[in-house]
Amino acid sequence: MVQVKKEAVRDSILESGRKLFKAQGYARATMNAIAREAGVAPATLYVYYRSKLEVFFAIYDPWLRAKLETLQQESQRIKQPQKRLEFLLMGLWRDVPFADNSFTNNLMQAVSTKGADEHYDTTLLEWSKAQIAAVVADCLPPRRRQALNLERITHLLFMAFDGFSLNAHFAPDRPCDVAMVRMVAELLIGPTPRKAA
């Protein structure tokens, strides 16, 4: 007999996973602990999710999308392009990595301990890069937009995001600072053209 998946059970599993990942981290949370916290049998948990990685991404995907959408919307209120870019970078490298007890650190744990039989879907990463690339492109003068490879720049920004996510967990007293963000924004925007005398 086929077991019918119920939304209430799925929601309970995800809420339990969210609670355990925030409190213990991805590496220490187990499928059995998630099942126990959700009040379901471990076998029931596997009806809904094939692996802990799948549970994690069911939680992390909407969490990160909401953070980046909010960051993008708030950045649009800033008229000056360099200040908007600095706001975006500070959000991406400091605010999101420190949010919810450094929740992004769970991503680092999840992908670094992924088993060979577990599938890592890059859909969220590609969506995230596209969101950030759109804001970065909007901040750059046309000459810089043409000169820079936005795909590579965005990839580099996300590699830094990964590093800052680790840093938020292991060295929370040394977050990304304003000087670093300003330097990167200036590098991206490029020199201001001189006016003819």
Q: In sequence order, what DSSP letters do the residues of 144-171 get, joined into one string?
A: HHHHS-HHHHHHHHHHHHHHHHHHHHH-
CATH number, position 21: 1.10.10.60
**Predicted confidence band at 140 (pLDDT cuts at 50, 70, 90)?**
very high
Instruction: Answer yes or no: do 115 and 40 share one domain.
Output: no
Helix axes 52-75, 81-90, angle to 10 degrees: 160
Instruction: Answer yes or no: do 22 and 75 share one domain.
Output: no
pTM given for the model: 0.89
Instruction: Answer yes or no: do 27 and 69 share one domain.
Output: no
Query: What pLDDT, on a 0 to 100 scale, did the predictor assign at position 113?
Result: 87
Alpha-carbon distance of 59 to 19, in angstroms, equals: 10
Between 69 and 1, the more confident residue is 69
Q: Domain count for the chain, please give it.
A: 2
Instruction: Answer yes or no: do 31 and 122 share one domain.
Output: no
Tell me the longest C-alpha to C-alpha distance in the chain: 83
Q: Determine the average pLDDT of the residues in 111-128.
A: 87
Q: Which of 35, 163, 15 is nearest to 97 (CA)?
A: 163
Instruction: Answer yes or no: do 79 and 120 share one domain.
Output: yes
DSSP code of 140? S
* Counts for the chain of helices (H) and strands (E), in that order: 11, 0
Instruction: Answer yes or no: do 85 and 162 share one domain.
Output: yes
Residue 194 is which amino acid? R
Is 3 part of any domain?
Answer: yes
Instruction: Answer yes or no: do 45 and 64 share one domain.
Output: no
Is 30 part of any domain?
Answer: yes
Residue 3 has pLDDT above 60, yes or no: no
Return the ∠ at Cα 73 (arms to 100 and 88), rounded to 5°: 65
**Predicted confidence band at 50 (pLDDT cuts at 50, 70, 90)?**
very high
Residue 193 has pLDDT above 80, yes or no: no
Q: Determine the average pLDDT of the residues in 176-186.
A: 94
Instruction: Answer yes or no: do 40 and 126 share one domain.
Output: no
Q: Which of 12, 82, 88, 84 is nearest to 49 (CA)?
A: 12
Residue 168 has pLDDT above 90, yes or no: no
Residue 170 has pLDDT above 50, yes or no: yes
Q: What average pLDDT does the chain have? A: 91
Between 115 and 181, the more confident residue is 181
Residue 112 has pLDDT above 60, yes or no: yes
Q: Which domain holds residue 70?
A: 59-189
